[in-house]
Structure 1
Amino acid sequence: MKDKLNDIKLRNKLIFAFIFVVFVPVVIVGGYLTNELRKLALDDAKQEAETNMERVTERTMEVLKIPFYISNNLIYDQRLMQVVKTDYKKPYDVVLSYREFHVFHNYRQIYHNEIKHIKFYTENDTLLNNWQIIPVNNQIANTDWYKTAINGNGFARWLHLEDDTNHQHNYLSYIRKIDFVDFETKGVLVIQLKPSVFNLILSQESQPIMLVDEENHIISSNQREYIGNNLHSVIDANILTGNKKGVFQGIVGGKATHIFVNPIQLEGSLNQLKLISIIEDESIAKNANMFRNLGLIVVIFSFCIALLFIYYLSKVLTKRLSTLSHQINKIGNGNFNTHIFIDGKDEIGQLSKHLNIMVTNIKQLLHEVYESNRQKTLLERKQNEIKFKMMASQINPHFLFNSLESIRMKANIKGDKEIARIVKLLGKLMRNSIEVGSRNVKLSSEMEVVKSYLEIQKFRHGDRLNYEMIVDDAALDIPIPPLIIQPLVENAVIHGVENNQSGGSVLVKAVVSEAKLIVSVSDNGTGISVQKRQEIYQVLNEVEEKEGTRIGLRNVHQRLQLTYGNETGLTIQSNEHEGTKVSFFIPIKEGLG
């Protein structure tokens, strides 16, 4: 019986035990718990979000009540009435009256954290505009907000208005018509609230939350990118039914999201504001750690119970497997001197025999691979060092001789400080070429070399050469291989300016985009045909260097690929008679740029 049992395929034994003892109960219990725990997590997150919304609503209401109380006091303020009703004969009388009127200033002092401006618009055209009391002109009278206030019958409205004194800023404004019945005069009170007070309230919330007006303008948010935008740019506002309080589901940023809406309606106001909080469903699930841990404990407990049963069954069925497993563990820990022998004709018996052969082969193969890799690594390192030194040491004598000849001839004609400057730049350029090593340099240092080169060429060619350098500030400290841009600029000058009778221009650009430093050198020269461009690409990727090839471009191309991988290298964009653009990118490591 024992021998027959050993001859049965091990797969059939373990599949039977796993399906009926472990897999079925774990799947049933785990699936049920996962579903129930998700429901609990959603309910708990909703309740917490609603509690947070109520807290934020109360704090926001405290701020919004301040303009309401101030407006109620100003309706009966005799000092304001006196200023507004008086028919002034001279501007000086207005100035004296304003000097004695401190009501608005006092309120701003009391509520300096909440109030930005208090303004009163009046139809008394004998007053002067001091940005607190403002006579109404035709322009103001024709604005929508002023008409709305005049027709509001004393009820207030909340509007997101542009500031008269600073048109670049909008403020949440409390607008209310003030009637002085005894004096048969009226005006419109505008109280502007500081955005910072709402930003402070909302910044204390962990989930994205916004304060929105009736026109769906986002007045304040703990997400800076939302402020000033329309609610439609963040979520589909159509899913929010009217101005009702509730919880809605929608898609925000391509992710399923719960949207919590809490309207804010103040006494005496015709319109209302809304607090809107958005919580991703994924975030809700992540925050339910307690429930997840509870489910994990239950699943582990169920698994352990099942494991006891399968252990009892497998003790008879897999005793030989345990022996084999013990020997395999020794091999897994690096002990290749072990010998495995298990009797039987089933898979375990066959496996033990082949495993002994495999262990012997692995020992021999590891030794061979180790020696091969050691030799290969040493060879590649030496080759790369030689290639880099050869590439970095190359210099174009044609440029050097032409530059020196131009300086000599100009020095014979006239002597001025320009000669000294060009000689200094040339010396700096030569020193940089001589001192270059295998270490990376900052982009700012490389750009100084490029600028020195272009200044020398500008000296040679005069008005025939124009150049421009555009470099992101964020890119200046990024490390790059030395002498990686200057050969591209040299190529652009030679083929874009020197070969063009009318001269030309060169543009050097370095920008940071999507964790990459992108560098490009463009000229407006004669351009390159499609066939010629294909020939250049073939030369760039040749393993062996040939005489007469574009050594500078080839060196830059291969240095980039040696340093950053084959996905980098030079890209050439050009059409005949339309100029040429040579560019490359360097991946930015985390913490740089």
Structure 2
Amino acid sequence: MNFVRVLNDIKLRNKLSLTFITVAVIPLLVSGVFFTGKLREIMVKDAFKQAADNVDRVRKRTEEVIKVPLDISYQLSNDSRLKSVVSRSYDSYIEVIQTYRQYTEIRDYMRLYKEVKAIRLYTPNPTMLNNWEFMQPDAKTEQADWYKVALGKKGLAGWGFIQDERDQKYYLSLVRKISLDDPGQESVLVINVNTALLNSIISQESFQTMIVDDHNNIVAANRPNLYGKNLAEVHAGDSMLTQSEGSFDAVMDGKASKVVIASLIPQSSWNGLRVISVFSVSDIVRDANGVIRLAALVIGGCLVVAVLLVQASASLITGRLLRLSKHMSKVGTGSWNAYLDLDGKDEIGQLSHRFNALVGRLSQLMLEVEETNRQKRLLEQKQSEIKFKMLASQINPHFLFNTLESIRMEAHLRGEENIAQAIWQLSTLIRSSLEVGNGKIPLSEEIAMVRCYLELQKFRYEDRLQYKLELASGIGEVEILPLIIQPLVENSILHGLDQKEDGPTSITIRADYSEDGQVLVEISDDGAGIVPGKLESLVRELQEPEETGQRIGLRNVHDRLRLTYGEGSGLSIESKEGEGTRISFCIPRGGESNVLSDDR
């Protein structure tokens, strides 16, 4: 019962997959692994046999090559003319050169036998000259192991990896002592084997093959990067370094490998060479991979057939569920007309009927929500328009009364003609204020109103008030909300000039393009400034959701800017007590900067 309960808890797709794996995949994998393992085992045995044959073939061909220098060494060791040339004491260099010219056997051997790369005889005769055939051993040569060992062997040949003094390259070389007629005058013969010929012997081998001397120096290899190295440098195991013959497992360059070694000790030699062939497991079974791939194709075909059978049986059950899933996806994307028509009275049919009823109810609810949101948006729009009109209509009228009082007193006391100009400016300002609506006006018209206001205030304060207008070229055509700059200028006069104890106050109105293409408007003065605590309170009042404090003009301008241009277009206020105040705002608009100034 527990097993049945577990099966019932598994999802249908997973249950079908589990059945498929149990019935088809596991038996096929088990049989495939078994037969593949057997095939690999057979291929490994065949590869070992082939490797042993290859190594034996290389050993025999190498033996044929080194037999040539071995025979030459026998002939030279018994050459009476050679011994006569070496033992003779020469009176002059000319006599030496003439003797060299007459003795041509060494040059003849090198010309006739491609197996030989170079032949040189080291002799202690001080009257001879070095001509790369007859050479006097220097201190380094006399201290070399191969030289001392050769002198210690009685006519036996030796094989080593020796550096040629002519081209400074290392060659597999035969060394042999040649006894002269005079006691104590023993020479050492060195014959270099042609390395290119040795490499050509093993170059056709598909596996890594090397010829090494008794010091594990690699004297020939079918991998160029191995030539001249020591086996210890290529991460060979201890068995490869010490074992003379046989086959065994080893790890080379971090790979599991098979090694086959054959020993080659030429006749009458005190040491010999080893032929080593190394095969990684992947190389050994390379030929078997084709059979394995064929087996994989057969197994894959069986799996495909099994998958088709499972899919055919599962489609009868899952087809109706897929249709239900597609209609659910349509509903998820917002389509409420996804009516599902599934026949049958089983569990899936009942589920489809309930799904249709649910979609119908959701569609009705969505229509009700959309209608509610539409009415809410209309209400918010009306409230915003009312608030905008209320904010636009709240203009501080104090300056009007003060200006009229100043005009009255000036007319009463002096009766000067400039009063007429002041009255004209005042009428212009009042007329412009009355004609302002809810729409936007060009920045040039707003500046004209500000100019009239400043002239009226200059009429009142005389030399105590100075102002400057700086407008970028073409910026006057930019449309802006009406009565935005004038309240800010009024704030500079009321709180900058009136509260400054002495000296004139300068007000600068600047309109220019910012770096990001917006229109930047700044109103700055050098008046009394704002104390830090009061400045923080002013900034905090501007951010309050409801109007608080006494800065109604600044708050109106700040709210109108944010309602029209967004939250980032509100007022920015900077001030230092005793130094002045700067109020600025930005509105979206691009253009070029070419500042024009108007000073008064």
- Superposition TM-score, scaled by structure 1 size: 0.49
Higher Cα radius of gyration:
2
